[in-house]
A and B are shown apart, each in its own frame.
Chain A
Amino acid sequence: QVQLVESGGGLVQPGGSLRLSCAASGFTFSDYYMIWIRQAPGKGLEWVSFISARSTNIYYTDSVKGRFTISRDDVQNSLYLQMNSLRADDTAIYYCARGWSAYTAIDGWGQGTTVTVSS
């Protein structure tokens, strides 16, 4: 079955960096769009970044442009999010998720990894 397992979250000071990873299994990873979505405490869902199959297209929400970098390794079946210059408002649960194509629903989610930015 589809499995997405995030790791790499933790407590970091403002201005610091973290690298999130997502290990995928149970499906042909290289065929899917992969997305990072976050949820601040008690808040709704916000997409952060997504990457198309074969890394052809990459998008970022405005608030993370220039600070976050998404990448994927289709050999290792892994998705990554390099987060630099972290701010307090980046504090959230970060979910790794997949979508079949550019305009489909998100049909698989990881359990999330928590990022806390605080001094």
Chain B
Amino acid sequence: DIQMTQSPSSLSASVGDRVTITCRASQSIGRYLNWYQQRPGKAPTLLIHGASNLQSGVPSRFSGGRSGTDFTLTISSLQPEDFATYFCQESYTSVAGTFGQGTRLEIK
């Protein structure tokens, strides 16, 4: 099974900060990496698919990158509504591929 390891598990930042979350796959998954945002008490929503493709309607301050089996989610300038938990997910094995454990982004 593919393991997806996110870091950090939690992060404190301020409005306007630039933050980066990393997700590492245990084996090659090409660009089959997706990012989701989950606000408290809500269902997840898709932010980025295929490692770097912004989902329709998602603000351009979100971006995704890839270097080998390391993937990044960057928020260029944090807004109040961005404080949430972020999950990566590989879809190399299937549409229901393994999720990372999540990164909780909190207000400093």
Chain A residues proximal to chain B, CB less than 8 Å: 33, 35, 37, 44-47, 50, 59, 95, 99-107, 109-112
Selected A-B contacts with CB under 8 Å, 7 pairs:
A44-B99, A45-B99, A59-B94, A103-B91, A105-B89, A106-B95, A111-B43
Q: Which residues of B contact A33 (CB under 8 A)?
A: 95
Q: Which residues of B contact A102 (CB under 8 A)?
A: 94-95
Count of B interface residues, CB-CB < 8 Å:
23
B87-A106 in contact (CB<8A): no
Chain B residues proximal to chain A, CB less than 8 Å: 32, 34, 36, 42-46, 49-50, 55, 87, 89, 91-92, 94-97, 99-102
Count contacts between A and B, CB distance < 8 Å. Answer: 66
B43-A110 in contact (CB<8A): yes
A107-B46 in contact (CB<8A): yes
A45-B49 in contact (CB<8A): no
Alpha-carbon distance between A37 and B101 when the two chains are bound, in angstroms: 14
**A94 CB, min distance to chain B CBs, angstroms:** 11
Alpha-carbon distance between A110 and B100 when the two chains are bound, in angstroms: 20
A35-B95 in contact (CB<8A): yes
Q: Which residues of A contact B46 (CB under 8 A)?
A: 105-107
**B34 CB, min distance to chain A CBs, angstroms:** 4
B100 to chain A: closest residue by CB? A44
> Which 8 A-B pairs have CB atoms at the shortest separation, nearest pair first?
A99-B95, A47-B96, A105-B49, A105-B34, A109-B43, A45-B99, A50-B96, A33-B95
Alpha-carbon distance between A40 and B3 when the two chains are bound, in angstroms: 19
A36 to chain B: closest residue by CB? B96
* Contacts A105-B46, A109-B45, A110-B43 given; does A59 touch B96 at CB 8 Å: yes
Q: Which residues of A contact B94 (CB under 8 A)?
A: 50, 59, 102-103
